[in-house]
Amino acid sequence: MTGYPFRRLRMSTAAGLIALSLVSCESQERGAGPSPHAHPSHAVAHGPFTRKMDESMRLMAEAMADSRMTGDPDHDFAALMVAHHQGAVDMAKAVLEHGKDPVLRRLAQEIIVTQQQEIGVMKSRMTVTSPARRGSEPGSPGRIPGPFEPIRRLAEPVRPPAEPVRPDKEVSGGGSGTGAGAVIPVSGQDRVYTADQTSNTVSVIDPAANRLLGVIRLGDPVPGALSPLYRGQLLVHGMGFSPDHRTIAVVSIGSNSVTLIETATNKVKGVVYVGRSPHETFFTPDGRELWATVRGEDYVSVIDPVRMREKRRVRTANGPGMVLFRPDGRYAFVPSSFTPEVDVVDTRTYRVVARVPQASPFSPNLAVSRDGTEVWFTLKDSGKTQVMSARPPFRILATLDTGPITNHVTLVDNAKGRFGYVTVGGENAVKVYRRGTTPALVATVPTGDLPHGIWVSGDGTRVYVGLENQDAVAAVDTLTNRVIATIPIGQQPQQLLYVPRAVPTGGGTDNLMPLGVAGKAGHLTLGAPKGSGGRGHATVSVNALGALDLLQVAATGLEPGKDYTLWLTENRAAPFGRKEALTMFTTNAAGAQVSQAIGLLREVLTPATAAERAAARERFLIITRADSDTAVAVQESSEPMPPTPGLRPDPAPAAG
């Protein structure tokens, strides 16, 4: 027999002794009665090491207290021991940082190596065990009370009690529908909002009539938005709303800002400036805080929405993409767009308590189920969607191959069951999965060009989908999975929200403006050359920016990790004649990519009439490998940019 099992027992015992000693110290420091076994010197030690050990013990006790007995001994043992081992690893790291005894430092190193290995084994076994029964929410019989429960309660910082949800404040959010609140039928009081990245507007839709009411103009299009004296918002992109449905918060990536807008009047209440390149934002379930992910850095900005200023920062992995909360407000979930992990944040302590691996680095969006059991998050670079548990130990439950340019997800509960709706930009469709132990694809809904944002109505009977390369919103009936309306909006919608009862009284059209220049756009489609056997495909939008135009191409069906060029050519088919390169791009792991170019493009690509086509000498688009002249996608169709007589671009700001 080798000595390895005894070494593991020794290390586990050492970790246990450390934990027990901290339990004693914890009781004294927090006012518990004296103990004959207490160590007075520990009770008054508040240096860096003591604080780290205290935090390690608190997190371990909390994770164990939050674990739930399922009735399966294998699963329950692994769930408890993962938390226990992680506590030992954290304490051992603190000893290595502050301790000097060479024997204890060597022991700490062994604890870190072996117990991290064992954590990996136990997590892998948990994914294959089938619990005999599910645990329940904290405080129910399924929860493990044990000796750690009082420590967990003592460790909790005191926060003011959450405001109770009144009947007129149904919770609607989490990217998944109506939260834990009441079902709210579709009505003219509801609103659908889109963040229009190119026109720098917010489009406002009445879902009862499926009609655009107007736009909230937050800034000017490029090139005016590039002036050094420009004061508007730039790259309007992300959005969230308050639990009382009275405020939406709009993130502008280029101006590093969060704009708060009153839903009843469409009036800007104020602007909060945060760090570099924020991406998404959402209110806590009690409405007291607004969290914004600062994707260009490594933190979430926590904003006081009343005082309209940042109050603190929550450190996360580099590139936090989005944040949503469990309906009870206990945890925040933050996927990353640059680092392959989802961070789980305890909202009471503002600390990351779990780091869940993503299948690939680029996650832009997630949704949380109404019952607080599931989190679905998308992976745009690899074309996947992953499902994780919203309860400790926050493990991955399923990985779905959803398709190229997988964008956003929303979770739907309706009369037919529980579903996940995922926008797949590279397939111009929304894919519908029945939720359960093994999510199953049950429908594919063609929507239009490059579906991006998606949100469910208050009663789960509809989802609304932003079509990025069609400058429109598609309304989908979730009971039939058919598009029932397509609504023209501002340019290149990104995030989309459905806010029930956003306008309690009145028409809700105050301070709205017509589309104007934002309504001018042309659209083209590219496909593989006939007989080539290829799968290349692309949708293209050409958006008017006043004097200039923005072209955006969304290409799929190409070789992963290769360089490609989008060309402007004289002829639709080979020989193509003179070629001018518009943009180059490298495909992602799913063989897809989105790229942009700016220039005078509308007249040659999307002429409105035959006369304009002849006068402008119409041009066409093709895609080739960067190292080849052979086309992998050629222009198949085009929808001209509509003429707007008398429309002139707004004057640009002075050059400075």
pLDDT tens digit sequence for 598-620 = 888 877 787 666 665 555 578 89
Report yes or no: 534 and 625 within 8 Å, Cβ to Cβ: no
Q: What is the 3-state secondary structure (H, E, C) of 113-170?
A: HHHHHHHHHHHHHHCCCCCCCCCCCCCCCCECCCCHHHHHHHHCCCCCCCCCCCCCCC
The total number of structural domains in the chain stands at: 3
Same domain? For 356 and 473 the reply is yes
Helix segments in 458-579, DSSP class H? none
Residues 496 and 600 in one domain: no
Residue 181: inside a domain: no
Say yes or no to pLDDT of 459 above 60. yes
Locus of tokens 């995030």: 495
CATH of the domain at 589: 2.60.40.200
Residue 203 in domain: yes
Residue 554's closest CA among 580, 582, 526, 520? 526
Asked whether 301 and 294 are in contact (CB, 8 A), the reply is: yes
**C-beta of residue 298 within 8 angstroms of C-beta of residue 317:** yes
- In the structure, what pLDDT confidence band is assigned to residue 46 with cuts at 50, 70 and 90? low
When pLDDT is averaged across residues 395-403 and rounded to a whole number, the result is: 97
551 pLDDT higher than 70: yes
Do residues 461 and 549 both lie within one domain? no
- Report whether 428 contacts 445 (CB < 8 A): no
Q: Is the pLDDT of residue 637 over 90?
A: no
Residues 429 and 399 placed together within one structural domain of the fold: yes
The pLDDT of residue 639: 76
Conformation bin of residue 405: beta by default, left when phi > 0, alpha when psi is -120 to 50: left
Range of the domain at 427: 191-505
Q: What is the pLDDT of residues 276-286, one digit of tens each?
A: 999 999 999 99
For 600, phi then psi, to 5°, come to -90, 90
pLDDT at 19 over 90: no
pLDDT of 136 > 80? The answer is no
Does 68 reside within a domain? yes
Domain assignment of residue 182, yes or no: no
pLDDT at site 181: 59
Q: Give the domain-ending residue among 127, 153, 178.
A: 127
Give the pair of three-digit tokens for residue 238.
């992300």
Q: 96 and 245: one domain?
A: no
Highest mean pLDDT: which of 171-175, 315-319, 528-532, 547-551?
A: 315-319
Residues 349 and 429 in one domain: yes
Q: Is 24 a member of any domain?
A: yes
Q: Which of 82, 111, 127 corresponds to the end of one domain?
A: 127
> Domain check: are 225 and 327 in the same one?
yes
- pLDDT band for position 622 (cuts 50, 70, 90): very high
Per-residue pLDDT tens digits for 353-392: 999 999 999 999 999 999 999 999 999 999 999 999 999 9
pLDDT of residue 176: 46
Helix (H) or strand (E) holding 92: helix 73-98
Q: Which of 24-33, 69-78, 90-99, 460-469 has the lowest mean pLDDT?
A: 24-33
Residue 644 lies in a domain: no
pLDDT of residue 615: 57
Looking at per-residue confidence, does 239 or 138 come out higher?
239
One domain, residues 275 and 319: yes
- Residues 193-197, mean pLDDT to the nearest whole number: 97
DSSP one-letter code for 519: G
Q: Tokens 């404040």 appear where? A: 169
- Regarding whether 416 and 533 lie in a shared domain, the answer is no
Question: Residue 29: pLDDT above 60?
Answer: no
Q: In terms of Cα–Cα distance, which of 501, 428, 414 is closest to 456?
A: 414
Tens-digit pLDDT profile for residues 74-105: 888 888 888 889 888 888 888 888 888 877 88
Asked whether the beta carbons of 571 and 622 are under 8 A apart, the reply is no
Q: Which of 590, 635, 199 is nearest to 424 (CA)?
A: 590
If asked whether residues 406 and 538 sit together in one domain, one would say no
pLDDT of the residue at 8: 40
User: Distance between CA atoms of 344 and 322, rounded to whole angstroms?
Assistant: 12
Q: Is the pLDDT of residue 5 over 70?
A: no
Give the pLDDT score at 349.
Answer: 96
pLDDT tens for each residue of 228-267: 888 899 999 999 999 999 999 999 999 999 999 999 999 9
- pLDDT value for 610: 62
Residue 655 has pLDDT above 50, yes or no: no
Residue pair 263/503 in contact by the 8 Å Cβ criterion: yes
Amino acid making up residue 437 = T
Name the token pair of 22. Answer: 């901290």
- Identify the pLDDT of residue 45: 52
Q: What is the CATH number of the domain that holds 348?
A: 2.130.10.10
- Region 209-214 average pLDDT: 97
- Name the band, by pLDDT with cuts 50, 70 and 90, for residue 53: confident
Alpha carbon 494 to its chain centroid, in Å, reads 12
User: Which position has the higher pLDDT, 497 or 153?
Assistant: 497
Does 148 map to a domain? Answer: no
The reply to whether 273 and 329 lie within a common domain is yes
pLDDT of 17 reads 42
> Which one has a higher pLDDT value, 214 or 139?
214
Q: Which residue has the higher pLDDT, 40 or 457?
A: 457
Region 399-428: what's the mean pLDDT?
97
- CATH number of the domain at 11, please: 1.20.1260
Q: Are residues 221 and 365 in the same domain?
A: yes
User: Amino acid identity, residue 139?
Assistant: G
3-state secondary structure of 102: helix
pLDDT value at residue 40:
39
Per-residue model confidence as pLDDT tens digits over 327-359: 999 999 999 999 999 999 999 999 999 999 999
Using CA atoms, how far residue 218 sits from 199, 226, 235, in Å, is 9, 14, 10
In a domain, 135, yes or no: no
Burial of 519 (0-12, 13-18, 19+ CB in 10 A): buried
Q: Which residue has the higher pLDDT, 589 or 56?
A: 589
Range name among 132-141, 325-334, 389-398, 538-547 with the lowest pLDDT average: 132-141
* pLDDT surpassing 70 at residue 173: no
Which of 368, 426, 375, 366 lies closest to 402 in space, CA to CA? 426
In the predicted structure, residue 167 carries a pLDDT above the cut 60: no
In whole numbers, what is the pLDDT of the chain averaged over residues? 83
pLDDT value at 402 more than 50? yes
